Structure 1
């Protein structure tokens, strides 16, 4: 048994799946690899995500240490999200998913990095 963040898991893959699970998290990480993004940019480039889900999954990624959030004391407030070192370390997994989707499933390239 492995304990991580107060929960018990049976193997490291289970932990990775818990951290990356969610319909939108991988897409958010994929786009944040390009650099810091504002909330409104993420809302625009992650098609179909509701504001509620975007906020929730960004908060989960922040709590799990994959991204950092910076709130600027302006009116209206400006909020920016940046990948942490841990978040950057997940990018090879996303690249492999991209290559697998293109090569094995025959989908078009789409946005590449």
Structure 2
């Protein structure tokens, strides 16, 4: 096995429940925070945009509302209800420039919790 040239983005399940809006706050955390329980938050860079991309049959993109250290993405329940378990997602930051630079911050799969307790 080879070693990645740089650290890959973390992978997390994105929990979705029937009739629930999916609202995610991607906080910009200082990777050098001394206290992982209370990390230092950093404002996102000026001009950066964020997106949550879903790999559905027709890919979907949901923009983040960025304020300070918060990048909030909202997906209404009517859309979230149609997401299948295992659908791939990626939260992407796009930095201005010509061309722009896109960085995958976190990715993973949708995990449905429709009437099921978390185990």
Larger strand proportion of the pair: 2
Higher RCO by CA contacts (8 Å cutoff, separation 6 or greater): 2
What is the TM-score when the length of structure 2 is the normalising length? Answer: 0.29
Larger helix proportion of the pair: 1
What is the TM-score when the length of structure 1 is the normalising length? Answer: 0.30
